[in-house]
């Protein structure tokens, strides 16, 4: 499993996985169109008593799971009294801990080499006697397939290439910003939904973050009283070049900002460059589990990040965010609060000017 995980983190592996995934979905859809008839489309008000609901989002990207969390309170309201389960992935399921769900089932990369574990998972899902499965990707082939494989009597999702796997279909939302998709989808089902992302930090996680920030190596920065959190990771072409990150950290250090640098699992080279400079190394946090990273961000006065899972985490935590984008498509995903800022293909001075001009700058510097 460790080998598979490391292989999956390599950019070349991620690009290959994206290409093969698209090809696999295209051919699977063609096959299904030949062998499966299009089932009758039911209305939500035709569904009888619902005891168990399954939210299906088996996506490996943390950000996609966070973006799906508005479904949780919406489904609770639509199906009061029903058990709410979630089917997620091994990398993103951890995001759902502490949320008001009754159970989490997890898909793993290891199922590729151990298919009997997938069979065991499907047996567990069918034993749950799911009445309604909701495909949270709103067009995801894998989500629609697992909705069918769960044994759910009613499979809810969007019209499209995977329609033959669903029997409660509504038009796909056509919106400019991704955060508007779920509210539009839920309204088409007759419910109401906020666009607010949901995440909960436990007391134990908050205490762990507090201890981490109080490390004697950072005692001179007074971090517990207000600081900037910088996440320097990112997926493929969403990353900033390492040289630009180093220059940003240098400038913020010179400006007297109190900050910590959080690196993703793939940023080994950047971590080494920062660690080799004592004046920058003091800002660098040791690698932490995702939920501790979130707990650190929850304590921050301001977050600087690329388009990434932590960007959505910051939004779910209500933290003002400066989003650094490298491609135009990312605008559809950015936080949009009053104190959030968006920079496209930013230069070093663009980032430092945005931080110094932010209303939270006084808190970050302690002045």
Task: Quote the CA–CA distance of 139 and 25 in Å, as a whole number.
Answer: 11
Q: On the CB side of 181, how many CA atoms lie within 13 Å of its CA?
A: 20
Helices (H), the chain: 2-9, 11-35, 62-67, 71-78, 115-127, 141-149, 181-188, 203-213, 242-254, 268-275, 278-281, 290-299, 309-316, 348-356, 361-365
Task: Quote the CA–CA distance of 186 and 189 in Å, as a whole number.
Answer: 5
Tens-digit pLDDT profile for the chain (367 aa)? 444 445 455 555 545 555 555 555 556 666 666 667 788 999 988 899 999 999 999 988 899 999 999 999 999 999 999 999 999 998 888 999 999 999 999 988 877 778 888 899 999 999 999 999 999 999 899 899 999 999 999 999 999 888 899 999 999 999 999 999 999 999 999 999 999 999 999 999 999 999 888 876 655 555 666 899 999 988 778 889 999 999 999 999 999 999 999 997 788 899 999 999 999 999 999 889 999 999 999 999 999 999 999 999 999 999 999 999 999 999 999 999 999 999 999 999 999 999 999 999 999 987 7
203-365: what CATH class? alpha beta
DSSP annotation of 367 reads: -
Would you say 136 and 66 are in contact if contact means Cβ atoms under 8 Å apart? no
CATH 3.40.50.2000 boundaries in the chain:
35-188, 203-365
Task: Quote the CA–CA distance of 294 and 39 in Å, as a whole number.
Answer: 42
DSSP annotation of 313 reads: H
Considering the segment(s) 35-188 as one domain, its CATH architecture is 3-Layer(aba) Sandwich (3.40)
């Amino acid at each position: 499993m460790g080998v598979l995980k490391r292989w999956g983190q390599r950019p070349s592996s991620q690009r290959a996985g994206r290409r093969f995934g698209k090809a696999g979905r295209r051919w699977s859809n063609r096959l299904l169109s030949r062998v499966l008839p299009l089932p009758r489309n039911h209305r939500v008000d035709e569904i009888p008593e619902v005891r168990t609901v399954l939210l299906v989002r088996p996506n490996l990207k943390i950000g996609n799971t966070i973006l799906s969390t508005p479904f949780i309170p919406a489904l609770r309201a639509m199906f009061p009294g029903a058990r709410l389960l979630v089917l997620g992935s091994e990398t993103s399921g951890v995001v759902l801990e502490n949320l008001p769900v009754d159970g989490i089932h997890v898909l793993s990369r290891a199922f590729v080499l151990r298919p009997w574990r997938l069979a065991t998972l499907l047996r567990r899902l069918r034993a749950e006697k799911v009445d309604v499965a909701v495909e949270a990707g709103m067009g995801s082939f894998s989500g629609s397939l697992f909705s069918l494989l769960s044994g759910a009597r009613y499979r809810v999702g969007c019209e499209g290439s995977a329609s033959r796997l669903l029997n409660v279909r509504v038009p796909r939302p056509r919106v400019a910003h991704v955060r508007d998709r779920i509210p539009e989808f839920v309204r088409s089902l007759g419910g109401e939904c906020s666009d607010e992302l949901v995440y909960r930090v436990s007391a134990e996680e908050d205490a762990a973050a507090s201890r981490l920030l109080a490390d004697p190596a950072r005692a001179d920065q007074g971090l517990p009283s207000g600081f900037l959190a910088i996440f320097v990771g990112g997926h493929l072409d969403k990353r900033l070049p390492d040289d630009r990150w180093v220059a940003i950290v240098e400038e913020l250090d010179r400006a007297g900002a109190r900050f910590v640098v959080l690196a993703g699992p793939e940023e080994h080279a950047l971590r080494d460059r920062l660690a080799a400079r004592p004046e920058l190394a003091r800002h660098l946090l040791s690698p932490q589990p995702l939920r501790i990273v979130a707990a650190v961000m929850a304590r921050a006065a301001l977050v600087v990040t690329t388009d990434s899972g932590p960007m959505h985490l910051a939004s779910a935590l209500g933290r003002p965010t400066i989003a650094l984008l490298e491609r135009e498509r990312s605008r559809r995903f950015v936080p949009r609060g009053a104190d959030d800022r968006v920079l496209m293909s930013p230069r070093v001075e663009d980032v430092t000017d945005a931080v110094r001009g932010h209303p939270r700058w006084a808190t970050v510097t302690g002045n």
